[in-house]
Amino acid sequence: MIRRLVPWVIGVILILMYAFALVRPIGDLTGLPQLGEQLGLSISPVGWAWLVGAVAAPVLICLGCLWFPRARTAEVRLWILAAGLGTVALLQLEMELLAPLSTFFA
Amino acid sequence: MAKKSDRAARTSSLATGWTVEGDADGADRIAGEPEPRPAPLPEPEAADAPQQLSNSMTIVLGIFGGLYLAYLWIWFSWAKYMVTVTAAQLSLTTGTVGAVLQTVLYWLAPLAPALWMIAALRANRGGRGRGLMIWLIVGAIVLVPLPFLLGGAASSAAADAAAVSWGAL
């Protein structure tokens, strides 16, 4: 029973971390245009690409990590899910390092 | 001329009308013929048997392992930098729980190359080397530390601005 429960618990924790990784990009997607309006600026096309990409990346990577190894064992699926979460965290850190706020506004 | 084996079925010489049962295997065997060998044990499944890596695959794994280790170290330095810069702001802007989870995400980033390597090895265990190679090449492209390659000093300045701006949001 516990041996079957542990993978599920780890999987749920990983999925919740994916959900948390989605919170801030959604906040930026909704908040930055409002901030731009207050400053009299608009979001540049590159900025929109960054904002939409930041929201899409965790969703697509999570779905891919759930769908791609669906025929594998639970252990392999968890490793792939963890690797996907690490990739999401890495891409977000990369975005923070590469895209300062000035690149979002036209 | 060969004669029948003693283990064949025969009429009992002790009790008239009784038949001594013969050895089933030896009933039709001719005397002097070697005994049949026992059936060999079934071979273990190929997937279960431990497979030894070829020399070329060992070298490839060593190269990618070193590359991924370099990635890990570079991303570790960037994650450490970001945690140091944004630590004070995170708890103010995202709350205590949010700050903890965001810090976990920051520290998870440098672990991505190691997790990718482990996932690739686990997913392709017993498989062909081609699948593992594809996994490792894709990982080497996706996980490449672009801020490092695009110039550390410039990225550092951008990181300062990004950390302040993103943290404030």
Query: Using the 8-state DSSP alphabet, how is residue B154 labeled?
Result: H
**Going by C-beta distance under 8 Å and a sequence separation of 6 or more, which residues neighbour residue B120?**
B132, B135, B136, B139
Would you state the torsion angle of the CA atoms of residues A78, A79, A83, A89, taken in this order, to the nearest 10 degrees? 50
In this model, does residue B168 exceed pLDDT 50?
no
Residue B34 pLDDT level (bands cut at 50, 70, 90): low
Predicted confidence (pLDDT) at residue B48 exceeds the cutoff of 70 = no
* Largest CA-CA distance found in chain A, in angstroms, rounded: 59
pLDDT greater than 80 at residue A46: yes
Give the number of beta-carbon pairs within 8 Å between A and B. 100
Mean pLDDT of A28-34: 89
pLDDT: is B5 or B93 the higher one?
Answer: B93
Q: If you average pLDDT over residues B52-70, what whole number do you get?
A: 89
Instruction: Provide the residue count of chain B.
Output: 169
For every residue of B29-50, DSSP letters joined together read PBTTPPPPPPPPPPPPPTTTSP
Considering chain B, what percentage of its residues have pLDDT values greater than 70? Answer: 66
Mean pLDDT, residues A67-79 taken together: 91
Average pLDDT over every residue of A69-77: 90
Of B108, B122, B158, the CB nearest to A97: B158
In this prediction, residues B98-106 reach a mean pLDDT of 90
Contact A27 B169 (CB under 8 A): yes
Number of H helices, E strands in chain A: 3, 0
* Global ipTM: 0.89
Kindly tell me if the per-residue pLDDT of A91 is higher than 50.
yes
Q: What is the DSSP string of A62-89?
A: HHHHHHTTTTS-HHHHHHHHHHHHHHHH
Q: Name every residue in B having a CB less than 8 A away from some CB of A.
A: 75, 78-79, 82, 94, 98, 101-102, 104-106, 108-113, 115-116, 118-119, 122-123, 142-143, 145-147, 150, 155, 158-159, 161-163, 165-166, 169
With H, G, I as helix, E, B as strand and everything else as coil, classify residue B52. Answer: coil
Local confidence band at A87 (pLDDT 50, 70, 90 cut-offs): very high
| Torsion (CA) A88, B141, B158, B83 in degrees, nearest 10 | 40
Task: Give A100's contacts in chain B (Cβ within 8 Å).
Answer: 158, 161-162, 165
Lowest mean pLDDT among A23-27, A94-98, B14-18: B14-18
The pair of three-digit structure tokens given for residue B87, joined into one six-digit string: 């630590």
Predicted confidence band at B80 (pLDDT cuts at 50, 70, 90)? very high
pLDDT at B69 over 50: yes
Backbone angles phi, psi at B19, to 5 degrees: -120, 130
| CB-based contacts of A58, cutoff 8 Å, min separation 6 | A18, A21, A22, A25, A88
